[in-house]
Every structure is written in structure tokens, then in C-alpha cells.
A and B are shown apart, each in its own frame.
Chain A
Amino acid sequence: MTVIKASNLTKTYNPDKIPVRALRGVDLAIEKGEFTAIVGPSGSGKTTLLNIIGGLDRPTAGEVEVGGKDISQLSDNQLIDFRKDNIGFVFQSYNLIPVLTAKENVEFVMVLQNRPKAERDKRAESLLTAVGIAEKMDKRPSELSGGQQQRVAVARALASKPAFILADEPTANLDSESTAGLLDMMATMNKEENITFVFSTHDQRVIDRARRVVTLVDGKIVSDERR
């Protein structure tokens, strides 16, 4: 089943001044349960592609369908709601809310979804157990290591029961041990729960674990390798 379908995506920044063509006609389909890495040199358009398929940015031309729905036609609020209910984000810098505990951070998206307190508690605890930091659930981000924060970020991304997880350079700030642990955890979730992961990365350790590697150069897909 196709979860994401991008057709002839182009993105041009500063179209009226000095145009920068970040994407030049990208076609990409991601199937349910894939563990995909989008790779390429800096400036190749990885983050732009991730932002557009995640509904954070709009393409200059082309379409993005998520679960069969063309998200480029949605209004601002519809897009926010769509992201909340369908997409989990993991950012390079974790981006947890500093004043909330690990558990509250995971609960937060469910609060936005107006889920009942009991359900939020149960799911947050179960997700934090799944990512291996149940004992730290009452700690604030500043009391956690980078690896632990990124695990909380993964748990937060999963909290809304999204169609897929978009992870933008998730290991960029982690040491080898934390990277290995995080990748093990995500690979297990992908394998056992069939959760779809799409990464943008430079990190060879992530590329080595991916089952599909899409390579972008100058805004174009130059290779798409399934392993």
C-alpha cells in the first residue's frame, strides 16, 4: 500500500530574485512499512523533500498524496490538523518542549488530539517503555542525554498513531552508542509493528540499516535502491 506519493515535485526558492531550484521534478512513492533513507550531499534537496511530503512546506509545482489525499490543496489549519493526525516528526535537535517532562512531551500531541487523560497516560507510558526509557519519564529534557531525548522524540512522533514517521537527520547530534541504540529501536518498531520510517541523512550508519536508499543530487533522484 502506498503511503506517500510525490509526483513531479519542484520547489524553487526566491522565484522573483535569484531563484534556487531545490527540487526539480521529483517522483517518489513510499510503501507502508518501508524503512527508507533519503541521502545526498548538502544542498541536494533532502530536507526540502522531507518538508514537502511532511506538509511543512508547499511545492512550487507537483502533487503530494498522503494516504491518497492531495495535501497540497489543504488550507493552513487543515494542514496543521493533518500533520497532527497523520505524520510523526523526529528532528535533528530533538525539539522537545523543555518545560515538560518526557512523559508530558509524549502526551502533548495526544492533548492536541483531545484524547482522554487515561488513554494518554497509558499510551505515553507504553511508548516510553518501548523506546527504552520508562524509568526517565518524569525527567525534563535538560536532565536527559542526547540519545535519551531523541528516544523521547521518537515516542512523541509515534504518540498520535501516524501513518509514517519523518526523521530529519535524527542521528546528527548523537554519539555512536546512542545512534546504534536509536537505530535498533526504530528498526525493531519497523519490523514488529510495520511502522513506516523515512529519514533524511548523511550518516552512513543510518544508510547501512535502511532497506531502501533514495539518493538526491541537485534536486533530482539519481538512484533508488531497494535492499
Chain B
Amino acid sequence: MLLQLAWRNIWRNKRRTLITISAIAFSVFLSAFMISLNKGIFDSMLNGAIEQYFGYAQIHGADYWEDKVIDNSIEFNEILQAIPEKVAEVDDIIPRIESFALASAKDLTAGAFVIGIDPAKENKLTNIEEKLIQGRYLKATENAVIIAEGLAEKLKLQLNDTLVLLSQGYHGVNAVGKYPIQGIFKMGLPDLNKSLVYMPIKTAAYFLGAEGRATTLVLKIDHQKIVPKAIANVQNYMPADQKYTLKSWQQLMPELVETRQLKEGGNYVFIGILYLLISFAIFGTILMMTKERSYEFGVLTAIGMRRKKLFSVVWLETVMVAIVGAITGILMSMPLVYYLKVKPLTVGMMGEEAAAAYEKFGLQDSLPAAFELPIFLYQALIIFLITSVLAIYPLFKIMRLKPVEAMRD
């Protein structure tokens, strides 16, 4: 009956209750929507960076990340090759050998970033083939390259022309080679578009005198959530002689992590202000309710209701209003967030300048919202906590209540 009493009490002043519920629902709606959208955009940026190049985790030689030279490459040995078999969370290991070179064609030269790849594996991670605008993708054993559109323009190269590369190979050997251009691709990031050259890893290793070696091993992991477990398991599996370093995407892309933290910080300030305003609305309701019903509280204690029981009814009323408001807000936000996940906002909707900036950094065009249950549940939890704290006021009043004085008032 106490639950029934609390529920009916809520509706004694319908208008006030509805206004409070609406205010709570609106805040939950706004914060859940904003968090989902921002998280979705961040995930989209992350996926873009991962698909473009990084993957969720990479293995390097111990000193490679600080000094990215071919001499700090590692042997892509059987132990490393066996990681996907030994660690369930890792689907594949994708080797790369990376080096800078001087690219030349006729009397033109340009700096080039040469990456030796396993064409099939690399394509599964970064979809290079989809970025081709001319020609065809690489075959595993051919002595050929595909080059970025910007570099081709700079060197005035076309399909089937020959690219000459000069570099310093492993342990200082001279690296020289000439390669037919089988394809031209377009990269989102301007710097990469002006310099990138892909060739089969065997060809690159031969060019650099580094056969059987790799500068980077990308771990293909299916989902962000299992990355920590995957990294831990790979670390356990790998020999502990400090020859390798294993870096997560957060360590590989600290700027992205900082951007997210900055964005989240801004969100928390906004949401904090929103919930502060809502706290005043809820507290206003509690204040009025406590004042209006002090006579009734006096009667209830007079006829034998203990103060704690009385408080629990009042607390239940406040929490019920909060829960109804939170559920309403969640039910309002869920369809919209789901809609924006299925039919995402596009960069184009954000105006031409934003679209150009996104394109420049090679980010995905669509910005789907993140539809994740914890985002919605956290809002309900926050409202519950706020309400529980605010309900201390009637507790304070009820504990100090003197029935005779309350009934006299």
C-alpha cells in the first residue's frame, strides 16, 4: 500500500508533476542524444584512422617508434607470424616495411613514403583497392608499384610509366630500383596523397636489402572492445626479451585520444549545467511538496507512522517522478538516436567548410550516432543519484518534525 500511496501522491498535483517529468525527460533526451551523437562521430573518426592506416594495435622493433629507420626493423619470424593462431582475439597479422625514398621520373624528383605491403592482407584492413582511381591493385609477387595521385601529378607520371626509387636500405646499403606503375590511388590525407608509394612487401624488402624483415606489424582485431584483452594476450605470448614494443591505437594516435577527451570534457560541462538546472527544478518540486504536506506528515506520524517509513514514501515519490522522467527521456531519445545510426548525418549537412575539412583528413562522410544502451542507462542513473541526494531535504524536515507543531501549522 505504501508504494500505491507514493504513486497516487505524485498525481495529487498533476500539472507540477508533469512539468517536473517533462524537464527531466528533456534533459535526459538532450544529454543522451548529444553523447550518442558525439560518441558516434568520434567512433567514426577512429574507424577512419584505423581503416586508413593504423589498425587497433601494432608491433614494432623496440626503438622503431622513436626512430623510424629501417635499421630498427624486426625479423618477421615464425613466432610473430603465429600470433593469429595463438591469440584468439587477433584475426590476422599484417606486415609492412616502411621507408622514405627519393622518387624520380625523367628530370623530376620528389620525396616518397614507400610502404611494402602484403597486398591481400593489407587490402582487408585498409581497403586500398577501393581508393584506386586508375589501373589495378598489386599482386603479391610482382615487381611493381601503385602510387598516390598527388605524387603522380608532381612527377607527371601515368599508368605503366616507370618510377625510379633511391633510398638507404638496411644497414646502410644503397637501395635503387625502378618499377612500373600499375595503379594510381587517392588518399584523403593531403600529405600521404603527395608521397605514398605501395609495393609488394617482397619487392620492398629486396629493394631495401631487408628480406624477411618488417618495420610494422599491424594486428587485425575485430572490435575495439576486445583490444585490451588482445594486447594483453599478445604480450603474454611474445618473448619477453624487450625486442618488440606493442602499441594500442591510443598510443599510436594520441592526438585522437586527446581530441576525444577534449570533446568529452566539453560535453560533461554542458551536461553538468543541464543537470544542475534540472536539480533546481526537482528541488523546487520537493520544496513545495514538503511545505504543502507538513500538516499531513504531522497527522501520519500522529497516527503511528514512523519517520523512516514516512521518509521512504516521500523518497519513493521523488524517485518515481525521476524514473518516469528518465524513462520518458530515454524513450524519446532512443528512436531518434537509432534513426541517426541507421540513417546517419552526413558531413555535407554540416556545411561546405566542414565537409572540406573532413575530406581533407580523410574522415568518413557519414556520421552515425552510437546506439549503446549504457549511454541511456547512465542518464537514468545520474537522475536517480541527483534525486536521491535532493531527497535529503524532506528527510531532514521529517526527522525534525513535531506532529503537534506540524498539525498546528
List chain A positions with a Cβ less than 8 A from chain B.
51, 54, 56-57, 76-77, 80-81, 83-85, 89, 91, 95, 97-100, 104, 107-109, 111-113, 156, 160
Contact = CB atoms under 8 A, between A and B. Distances in A.
A19 to B, nearest CB: 17
B403 A56 contact: yes
A51 B402 CA distance: 12
A156 B299 CA distance: 12
Interface in B159-208: none
Interface stretch (B116-124, B130-138, B238-246, B301-309): B301-309
Contact of B299 (A76, A77, A91, A112): A91
Interface residues of B, dominant DSSP: helix
Contact of B1 (A91, A107, A160): A107
Contacts of A83: 302-304
Contact of A99 (B5, B295, B309): B5
Interface string B379-403: 0000000000000000000000011
A214 B231 CA distance: 89
B398 to A, nearest CB: 12
Given A51-B404, A77-B307, A95-B407, 18 more contacts: A57-B402, A80-B301, A80-B305, A81-B306, A83-B302, A83-B304, A84-B303, A84-B305, A85-B304, A91-B407, A95-B296, A97-B296, A99-B5, A99-B8, A99-B11, A108-B303, A109-B304, A112-B306
B387 to A, nearest CB: 21
Given A83-B304, A95-B299, A108 B1 contact: yes
Contacts of A99: 5, 8-9, 11-12
A160 B304 contact: yes
B302 A56 contact: yes
B2 interface: yes
A112 B407 CA distance: 20
A167 B2 CA distance: 26
Given A56-B403, A99-B9, A107-B1, A112 B302 contact: no
Contacts of A156: 303
Contacts of B303: 83-84, 89, 108-109, 112, 156
A86 to B, nearest CB: 9
A109 B309 CA distance: 13
A80 B5 contact: no
A16 B407 CA distance: 23
B304 A57 contact: no
Nearest to B299: A95
Q: Which A-B residue pairs are the 9 nearest by beta carbons? A: A84-B304, A99-B8, A95-B299, A57-B404, A111-B1, A83-B304, A56-B404, A56-B403, A112-B304
A89 B302 contact: yes
A108 B8 CA distance: 14
Interface in B245-301: 295-296, 299-301
27 contacts: A56-B404, A57-B402, A76-B307, A77-B306, A77-B307, A80-B301, A80-B304, A80-B305, A81-B304, A81-B306, A83-B304, A84-B303, A85-B304, A89-B302, A89-B303, A91-B407, A95-B295, A95-B407, A97-B300, A99-B8, A99-B9, A99-B12, A100-B8, A107-B1, A108-B1, A109-B303, A112-B304
B95 to A, nearest CB: 73
Interface string B292-330: 000110011111111101000000000000000000000
Contacts of A109: 303-304
Most A Cβ at <10 Å: residue of B2, B295, B305: B305
A92 B302 CA distance: 14
Contacts of B8: 99-100
Contacts of B402: 57
Contacts of A95: 295-296, 299, 407
Contacts of A107: 1
Given A81-B306, A83-B304, A107-B1, A98 B12 contact: yes
Interface in B201-227: none
Contacts of B307: 76-77, 80
